[in-house]
Structure 1
Amino acid sequence: MSADEHEAGDPDPRDVASALARALPGLHRAMERRLAQDFGHPKPPENQLALLRLVRARDGITVREAAEALLMKPNNLSALVSQMTAAGMLRKEQDPDDRRIVHLHVAEESLGRLDEVDALFRGYVAAGLDALDAGKRADVHRALTALEELARHIDPAAD
């Protein structure tokens, strides 16, 4: 069914898309503003947080694999890795079988800070959900499955 063909009473997908495209960045900005107030350290830029989260989830990932996962050019990711390694945020280990390959690991201090950022974000969302009535909380919960499916339809790498 195309965006022009929707059932009576069903919202126009273009209207929903516009509202969602406005709401999600607004939610993210609200969390970022709170984090700026509450986090006791300088917050890493979003690209650094994305790489830290990826390496935490896939410890030992190679630079090439990380570049593919983050949709970055390998030379740009390599520069980011070098910057983060120099700052003590990441550790690099050469592959024992192929010295051209580097495996990435999150440094201990960065793991703690990343966990702190994620805990603050979870807390903000939990407090916001607590402020909603039960019906709105249930609406948000039901929307999660649909949002995950929507992401799979949008992401060309998802299958």
Structure 2
Amino acid sequence: MDDDHLPDTLRAVEHELTALLRRGRSLSWEVAKEVHPNLEPNAYGLLLWLRRSDAIRLTDLAARLGISKGTLSRQINGLEGLGLVRREPDPDDRRAFQLSLTEEGQHRFDAARSSRLAEFRRIVESWPKRDVEDFGRLLRRFNDAID
């Protein structure tokens, strides 16, 4: 990349990323309310990780999300209270627990996710398939670099 254009290019990336994050926060509020009316908006990402992993230890999930165990534990307590998440003893370490979605949590999450994916599909339906693939690949690369 030409160094003369780098500052303008980075400013454009910053602008678009800021707009994406702003819209993402708004969408998270909407999707969280679809899962459960009392769900905090940032819990959708937590539910996504739980849906992907089937069962995961609290310490492992906290490390993946980059948050403290105390913060995650408070969020999990709230999700348990809503009947969306359960803790079960870890069969490999009885001092630890594994977290997973309840059947109700899976059902509610899948319904909300379906709605969210339909919106994504609507947005990119006119894009060439290659552009959608590149967009996903570049987002993954960006997120991996942050981690």
Q: What TM-score do you get using the length of structure 2 for normalisation?
A: 0.78
Aligned residue number for residue 9 of structure 2: 13
Matched, 1:63 2:58: yes
Q: Which of 80, 98, 101 is equivalent to 2:96?
A: 101
Percent identity of equivalent pairs: 24
Q: Which of 97, 107, 110 is equivalent to 1:112?
A: 107
Unaligned runs of 5+ in 1: none
CA drift of 1:63 comes to: 0.6
Superposed, 1:12-31 pairs within 5 Å as 12-28=8-24, 31=27
Deviations 1:87-122 (A, max 9, x none): 211111112343220001101111011111111111
- Larger RCO, structures 1/2 (Cα 8 Å, 6+ apart): 2
Q: Which amino acid aligns with 1:23?
A: A
Q: Which amino acid aligns with 1:102?
A: F
Counterpart contact for 1:90–1:104, Cα < 8 Å? yes
Aligned length: 145
CA drift of 1:13 comes to: 2.6
Aligned residue number for residue 126 of structure 1: 121
Q: Which amino acid aligns with 2:135?
A: A
SS of the residue aligned with 2:98? Answer: strand
Mapped partners of 1:86, 1:30: distance in 2: 24
Deviations 1:125-149 (A, max 9, x none): 222334xxx4xx1385233322322
Deviations 1:4-23 (A, max 9, x none): 8156xx88332322232233
Aligned residue number for residue 142 of structure 2: 150
Which has the greater radius of gyration? 1
SS of the residue aligned with 1:99? Answer: strand
Mapped partners of 1:79, 1:73: distance in 2: 10
CA drift of 1:42 comes to: 1.5
CA drift of 1:150 comes to: 2.3
- In structure 2, do the counterparts of structure 1 residues 14 and 87 end up closer, same or farther at CA, with 3 Å as the change threshold? same
CA-based RMSD of the aligned residues comes to 3.0
Of the structure 1 ranges 141-150 and 64-73, higher mean CA displacement relative to structure 2 is found in 141-150
